Amino acid sequence: MSFEKATAIDSTQQPYTAEIAEGWDIVGNANGGYLLALGARAMARAAGRPHPITVTAHYLAPGKPGPVTIDPQVIKAGKRLTTVRATLQSPDKPLIELLGSFADLESFTGPARVDASPPDLPPPDQCVRSVPNPERGFPPAMMGRVDLRLHPDDAEFLRGKPSGDPLIRGWLRFPDNQPMDPFGLLLATDGFPPTIFNANLPVAWTPTVELTAHIRAIPEPGWLRCRFSTRFISGGMMEEDGEVWDSSGRLVAQSRQLALTPRS
């Protein structure tokens, strides 16, 4: 199933309805970026504006495949931005609480200064492709829905040899020439292995508490270059800062995620 179909929204009635699709999960729980994109599509529909500019999600419970409802409420419709609040809910409980602003990215212009550059990566065919392993559950099922290639220096954790630097870099695209739109960028901000896998600390999945994504531009076709890094792992939590660059070398998305760390 394509990403567009997997995040389709039925807005013919309120609340909107959708389905958490099979295969976009981490050990049975829907990927946080996938849920973010699903909620944001409904919010954009309610806003009457095509693109997410900034979306923040607080994660309340794991999402399992099946029906969900989304109840977007417009808080303010301004000249350039419309701000929307929404809850994405399964039949028995809320899964994520969202707040975001939406607009037409093509109408945004202004001065530019970028004091950074895309991560330096070997060509995709020289990087380590992440392929799902159903028996172990890692890499997870979602890796069958995307084409993800890790920088070789950051992929040694797969062989039990973490680099010691909480850094993950790599390439990402949808398979079969599926287009990457701004909602796909929301998925990309949470599509890579956790940086803690390279930190020489107890290794486990790091459940997301909060994720904020900023969409800066509509990506050009082709591979995305991505970089995720962590500086502070303390107090049972860690942050993960993300950069997503398109095939033209333009910054198209940023993210910050707060996640729980494994217990000692």
Q: When comparing pLDDT for 40 and 107, which is higher? A: 40
* Chain segment 123-137, per-residue pLDDT in tens: 999 999 998 887 776
Portion of the chain with pLDDT greater than 70, in percent: 98
- Residue 137's pLDDT is what? 66
CB atoms within 10 A of CB 30: 24
- Residue 108's pLDDT is what? 83
Taking CA atoms, 72 is separated from 100, 105, 121, 211, in Å, by 10, 20, 39, 18
- Residue 171's pLDDT is what? 98
Nearest alpha carbon to residue 153 among 142, 164, 143: 164
Nearest alpha carbon to residue 213 among 35, 18, 30, 16: 35
Residue 192 in this model has a pLDDT that exceeds 90: yes
Whether omega for the bond prior to residue 262 falls within 30 degrees of 0, making it cis, is no
In this structure, are residues 189 and 253 in contact, taking their beta carbons and an 8 Å threshold? yes
Place of tokens 């039925």: 10
Residue 262 in this model has a pLDDT that exceeds 70: yes
Residue 33 in this model has a pLDDT that exceeds 70: yes
Question: pTM surpassing 0.85?
Answer: yes
d(CA 235, CA 257): 15
d(CA 134, CA 67): 24
Q: CB within 8 A of 119, min separation 6: which ones? A: 151, 169, 225, 226, 227, 243, 245
In this structure, are residues 82 and 107 in contact, taking their beta carbons and an 8 Å threshold? no
CB atoms within 10 A of CB 101: 21
**Average pLDDT value for residue range 68-75:** 98
